[in-house]
């Protein structure tokens, strides 16, 4: 029967090219469907690489769709991502591309990302960095972020970066005693900073960043936006550099 010889070819074609070339099973009789099913099983057992190839193609298609959706999210939220007016800005403030980092002080991968981001900024020299406080790992994360943001409001952006770096290395519990010790060690006004931790301004900034992350469908840290690209998770400096170069090439 022609079906016996056609089934494997039609199956392979439909798996690889998609529904447009798929066999219309409704046109087959019950006996032909049974025979076709047996032929499919035999073909797949003899050629399992067809399934692997189809899965790889599907994953590539899904990745392309997801990447495009992420680009659209970045474009729709560009103002709040790159110029919200309150997030700390570093790197090259006049850089031709911006790296936005959503981070949590209790996140191990955020800590691993610190030297990678520093290496990227040093090697490239033309990247602007925006840090967004996104405390999602419990009360200790929230306390740490409140302390860092309060420092920014009380002592300025340079002091914020000092505290930010100290908290990224800090492995203890962020109690009032330990946080005062950090700020005292940096020569800052601990009393004023602690008093500002529960201010409406600090609360508002955390709330705005959380709302932005929700719109961006960000649920983990670290998460990055590099130019037009969303990077969901930790990446070493060389991979981020490749993405930055690609973004620049697209922008001309």
What pLDDT, on a 0 to 100 scale, did the predictor assign at position 22?
56
Helix, strand or coil, per DSSP, at residue 128: strand
Q: Which long-range contacts (CB under 8 A, 24 or more apart) does 47-52 make?
A: 47/8, 47/12, 50/11, 50/12, 50/15, 50/16, 51/15
Same domain assignment for residues 174 and 218:
yes
- The residue among 210, 241, 209, 207 whose CA lies nearest residue 227 is 241
Residue 225: both structure tokens together: 């936006």
Q: What are phi and psi of 202, to 5 degrees?
A: -65, -45
What pLDDT, on a 0 to 100 scale, did the predictor assign at position 74?
96
Cβ-contact 244, 124 below 8 angstroms? yes
d(CA 156, CA 161): 9
Same domain assignment for residues 38 and 147:
no
Cβ-contact 173, 143 below 8 angstroms? no
Domain count, the chain: 2
What pLDDT, on a 0 to 100 scale, did the predictor assign at position 45?
80
Same domain assignment for residues 16 and 127:
no
What pLDDT, on a 0 to 100 scale, did the predictor assign at position 63?
64
What pLDDT, on a 0 to 100 scale, did the predictor assign at position 3?
47
Same domain assignment for residues 63 and 89:
no
Q: Which of 44, 70, 96 is at the close of a domain?
A: 70
The pTM score is 0.77
E strands, the chain, where?
Answer: 88-91, 97-103, 127-133, 223-226, 229-232
d(CA 237, CA 121): 9
Rounded mean pLDDT for each run of 10 residues along the chain, 252 residues in total: 47 47 69 80 80 75 72 96 97 97 97 97 97 97 98 98 97 96 97 98 98 96 96 94 94 80
Same domain assignment for residues 118 and 204:
yes
Q: Which residue has the tokens 């002080």?
A: 105
* Average pLDDT value over all residues in the chain: 88
d(CA 57, CA 20): 15
Q: Which of 48, 70, 92 is at the close of a domain?
A: 70
Same domain assignment for residues 97 and 40:
no
Can you give the CATH number for the domain in which 143 is found?
3.40.30.10
Same domain assignment for residues 83 and 175:
yes
d(CA 35, CA 67): 41
What pLDDT, on a 0 to 100 scale, did the predictor assign at position 60?
74
What pLDDT, on a 0 to 100 scale, did the predictor assign at position 6?
47
Same domain assignment for residues 203 and 98:
yes
d(CA 229, CA 250): 11
Q: Which of 70, 97, 128 is at the close of a domain?
A: 70
Q: Which domain range does residue 44 map to?
A: 2-70
Same domain assignment for residues 177 and 207:
yes
Strands across the sheet containing 97-103 = 88-91, 127-133, 97-103, 223-226, 229-232
Same domain assignment for residues 112 and 154:
yes
What pLDDT, on a 0 to 100 scale, did the predictor assign at position 2?
43
Same domain assignment for residues 49 and 171:
no
Same domain assignment for residues 134 and 62:
no
């Amino acid at each position: 029967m022609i079906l016996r010889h056609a089934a494997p070819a039609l199956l392979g074609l439909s798996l690889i090219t998609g529904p447009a070339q798929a066999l219309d099973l409704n046109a087959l009789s019950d006996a032909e469907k049974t025979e076709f099913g047996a032929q499919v099983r035999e073909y797949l057992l003899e050629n399992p690489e067809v399934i692997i190839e189809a899965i790889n193609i599907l994953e590539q298609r899904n990745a392309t769709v997801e990447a495009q959706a992420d680009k659209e999210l970045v474009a729709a939220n560009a103002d709040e991502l790159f110029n919200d007016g309150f997030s700390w800005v570093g790197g090259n403030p006049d850089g031709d591309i911006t790296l936005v980092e959503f981070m949590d002080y209790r996140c191990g991968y955020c800590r691993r990302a610190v030297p990678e981001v520093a290496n990227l900024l040093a090697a490239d020299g033309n990247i602007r960095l925006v840090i967004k406080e996104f405390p999602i790992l419990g009360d200790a994360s929230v306390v740490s972020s409140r302390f860092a943001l309060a420092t920014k409001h009380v002592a300025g952006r340079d002091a914020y970066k000092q505290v930010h770096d100290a908290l990224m290395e800090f492995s203890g519990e962020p109690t009032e005693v330990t946080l005062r010790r950090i700020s005292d060690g940096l020569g800052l006004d601990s009393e004023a900073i602690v008093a500002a931790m529960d201010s409406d301004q600090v609360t508002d900034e955390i709330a705005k960043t959380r709302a932005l992350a929700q719109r961006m469908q960000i649920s983990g840290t670290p998460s990055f936006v590099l130019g037009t690209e969303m990077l969901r998770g930790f990446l070493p400096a060389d991979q981020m550099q490749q993405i930055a170069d690609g973004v620049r090439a697209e922008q001309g």
